[in-house]
A = this chain, B = another copy of it.
Amino acid sequence: MIVELKQAASGADIERVTALLNGEFRTIKALEFDGRRFLGVSGAREDLDPGAIASHPAVLATSQNDATTYFTRRSFKDLRTEIAIGERRLGGDDMLIIAGPCTVEGPDELWRTAEAVKRLGVHAFRAGAFKPRTSPYNFQGLGREGLAMLGTIGKEFSLPIVSEILDPRDVGLAEDHIDVIQVGTRNMTNQALLKAIGGSKLPTIIKRGSSSKLDELVRAAEFVMYGGNPNVALCERGIQTFENATRSTLDVSAVPVLRRTTHLPIVIDPSHAAGERAYVEPLALAAAVVGADALLIECHVDPGMMIKPGDGPQALRPDDLEALLEKIEAVLRSVGRRLAPRL
């Protein structure tokens, strides 16, 4: 249960409301978003008296006692959330492009890819330093060293950096080096990680678990917001279905559904859904036309050189990406939108 306090609520008021909320197998927590103050209740709630709580003079509003989401819901605020990513805003009118290689490998290709995507007007650079992999024998990423390398690149090219972390202990490291945390599809239900990120203010993109309902994705974001971090975006990256012609099945209806149910920005990753270069373009255009706030696109100066097994087959070369961006721009224009201006 969430209780929103009135602006005038005093410390003594809050103590009294907290007393009403307290009880066995329950924890109470204070939160503040945009100057609005809340008390959150986690745990056993059956013996709460919602009427008494709602009618307390310091209480502005309360959630349903059994609500599983609150802060992430469309009804929570008037406007959609906008998250500053460098000088651009994710969730604003304009679409952002986040591009880069799957993995931080050598500094040379990384540098050249960053240079190329910067030249194309991409708004953030993504690459993985911590890689959750199919097998322990695959390349696990350069880890801390890779994250630091990304930090350097970001400064050099004035490109905000998006990168994944896997371990709750690495949130501080992310704060030191990068601009946006990515929670990968394998970790959407890793609640220790979500809670740790909730303790930061770093913008975070949560990828949908490959077999997770949209409601579950939103609840993953609720864990982060309930931790105190309002800068959360949701990413559809293809779901696991029986179809195997594409690596995953991109669920484009995720965008209109999430726009209706939440106020959070919505990112689409056409590359991982496609699993193959040739399908990235149609999926990216579909994402643009249904209203995605940003695209996350794999790009590498030389996909053939990527460490194998890896995502080389789905990575666009900078030339491909340039052509795609032109098409995206045209499609966006046809629905009254545009790409955010280049940095």
A136-B223, A137-B41 as given contacts; A307 in contact with B249, CB under 8 Å: no
Q: Are A239's CB and B249's CB within 8 A?
A: yes
Checking B166, B210, B249 against A249 with a beta-carbon cut-off of 8 angstroms, the contacting residue is B249
Interfacial chain B residues near A308, Cβ < 8 Å = 44-46
* Minimum CB–CB distance for A254 against chain B, Å: 8
Q: Does A75 contact B (CB under 8 A)?
A: no
* Minimum CB–CB distance for A127 against chain B, Å: 14
Nearest B-chain residue to A70, judged by Cβ: B137
- Tell me which of A44, A227, A246, A282 has the highest count of chain B C-beta atoms within 10 A of its own C-beta: A282
CA distance A240 to B132 in the complex (A): 22
Q: Does A285 contact B (CB under 8 A)?
A: yes
Interfacial chain B residues near A43, Cβ < 8 Å = 137-140, 307
B interface footprint on A215-240 (CB within 8 Å = 1, 0 otherwise): 10001001100110000000000011
Interface pick from A4-12, A89-97, A155-163, A189-197: A189-197
* Minimum CB–CB distance for A255 against chain B, Å: 7
Q: Does A213 contact B (CB under 8 A)?
A: yes
Q: Are B135's CB and A222's CB within 8 A?
A: yes
For the A-B complex with A25-B307, A327-B335 known, give 6 more contacts whose Cβ atoms are closer than 8 Å.
A27-B140, A43-B140, A66-B309, A68-B134, A239-B242, A239-B249
Q: What are the 3 closest A-B residue pairs judged by CB atoms, nearest first?
A: A211-B211, A68-B135, A186-B189
